[in-house]
Amino acid sequence: MEEDITALPASGPMLSRKDFVSDQLVRWCPGCGDFAILATIQKLLPSLGIPREKYVFVSGIGCSSRFPYYMNTYGFHSIHGRAPTFATGLKCVRPDLQVWVVTGDGDGLSIGGNHLIHALRRNVDIKILLFNNKIYGLTKGQTSPTSEQGKKTKSTPQGSVDYPVNPVNIALASEATFVARAVDTDLPFLTEVLRRAALHKGLAFVEIFQNCIVFNDGAWAEVSEKALRDDTTLTLQHGKPLVFGKDKNRGIRLKNGFVPETVEFEPGKPPRDLLVHDEKAPNATLAHLIAHLERPYFPVPQGVFRSVERPVLHELIDEQVAQAKKAGSADLQKLLAGSENWVVRSA
């Protein structure tokens, strides 16, 4: 990167988008959805008032994982699927840094699925952005864990037999404290979701629907095109009933206990039994139910599914270390030769 950012004063002049643009040639295909996400983040960061030298972008492997090269911040293009693990270590030793992870649906949910789940459950104070294009882009179009059943690719010429995962539900099941979803074609909405993620203390997970124009073009067309999205998406608002449609005349309610259904009503007169969103609910049951709303029967929910508080990993570790120090120094030799050891003898 062209300049030494450590030389900048922590409270220097107001930064602009340009300050976050690196001198690296962007190597994504023309028209790739990654461009819009990159531009949105470069525009958002200066408004957060965090010094540039405090940002670190960590990624794994994939087209999306080239992201750190294009940010004029610290960054680490790490190992396939392991970005959350690198980020966990970094945040624990340098809690003053704002650590962002950029991963793809292949990187984060195939090879890195295990690493992702454990970062989520530990409430590491990092932001994880999962660019979901429902395909492996970098390796030229094989199915990923989010590809739909029946998807024909070079690796699945007769159609994939695997059932896809829903990243938001994985994050909720792993007890992430902030879980959200946005689309790469609605930039004002994406900006607000990312702003909330940035301000959340604890792990913030954001799934971003991203178009891979070369190997899976139009995978999200139904929910990303302006002309369609009013009727195919549901924007979540805390404390508000689940209402959608161009005329705001449809909503979601439960029937037979726990089964969601769509109901139509006169605009401005929603029925009283519509489900009301609660992103602060102490358990994730409602968020799970909402996250399971999928096409073609329901609109696709976007926005913040869950935002709750829980102690963050590095603070818990620091507390434990402080307590252990208070208890006095330990004798390693005594520990190794303690009462719980055995001598194994041959017969």
Of 22, 139, 156, 262, which one interacts with ligand TPP (CB under 6 A)?
Answer: 139
Range in contact with ligand TPP (rule: CB under 6 A) among 56-64, 178-186, 217-225, 332-340: 56-64
Q: Collapsing DSSP states into helix, strand and coil, what is residue 5?
A: helix
**In this complex, which beta carbon is closest to ligand TPP, that of residue 21 or of residue 213?**
213
Q: Cβ 35 to ligand TPP, closest distance in Å?
A: 13
- Least Å distance, CB 115 to ligand TPP, is 13
C-alpha 50: how far from its chain's center?
20
In the complex, minimum distance from the CB of residue 133 to ligand TPP, in angstroms, rounded to a whole number:
5
144 binds, among ligand TPP, ligand SF4, none (CB under 5 to 8 A by kind): ligand TPP
Please list the residues that pair with 29 across neighbouring strands.
none
Query: Residue from 61, 63, 83, 183 that binds ligand SF4 (CB under 6 A)?
Result: 63
Residue 136: contacted member of ligand SF4, ligand TPP, none (CB under 5 to 8 Å, by partner type):
ligand TPP
Q: Which residues pair with 233 in a beta bridge?
A: 300
Q: How many residues bind ligand SF4 (CB under 6 A)?
A: 12
- Distance of alpha carbon 120 from alpha carbon 167, whole angstroms: 12
Residues within window 198-217 making contact with ligand TPP, judged by CB under 6 A: 212
In angstroms, the CA 155 to CA 25 distance is 31
**The dihedral of CA 133, 137, 138, 144: what is its sign?**
positive
Q: Is 215 in the site for ligand SF4 (CB under 6 A)?
A: yes
State how far the Cα of 264 lies from the Cα of 290, in Å rounded to an integer. Answer: 18
Q: Which amino acid is present at 42?
A: Q
**N-term to C-term CA, the chain:** 65
Pairing state between β 127-132 and 204-209:
parallel
Instruction: Residue 194: count other Cβ atoms within 10 Å of its Cβ.
Output: 25
33 binds ligand TPP (CB under 6 A): no
213 counts as binding ligand SF4 under rule CB under 6 A: yes
Q: Give pairs for 141-147: CB < 8 Å, separation 24+.
A: 141/214, 141/215, 141/216, 144/104, 144/105, 144/106, 144/109, 144/110, 145/105, 145/106, 145/109, 145/110, 145/113, 146/105, 146/109
Q: What is the DSSP letter of 19?
A: G
User: Interface with ligand SF4 includes 26 (CB under 6 A)?
Assistant: no
For residue 286, the partner it binds in ligand TPP, ligand SF4, none, with Cβ less than 5 to 8 A by kind, is none
Write out the binding residues for ligand TPP, residues 69-128 only, by CB under 6 A. 80, 104-107, 111
Site membership for ligand SF4, residue 137 (CB under 6 A): yes
State which residue, 104 or 202, has the beta carbon closest to ligand TPP: 104
Could you give the CA distance from residue 241 to residue 262 in angstroms, rounded to a whole number? 12
Asked whether 28 and 22 are in contact (CB, 8 A), the reply is no
The stretch near ligand SF4 (CB under 6 A) out of 1-9, 29-37, 74-82, 268-276 is 29-37
In this complex, which beta carbon is closest to ligand TPP, that of residue 40 or of residue 133? 133
Residue 133 within binding range of ligand TPP, rule CB under 6 A = yes
Judged by beta carbon, residue 55 or residue 67, the one nearer ligand TPP is 67
Residues that bind ligand TPP (CB under 6 A): 61-64, 80, 104-107, 111, 131, 133, 135-139, 144, 212
- Interface with ligand SF4 by CB under 6 A: which residues? 28-29, 32, 34, 63, 133, 137-138, 212-215
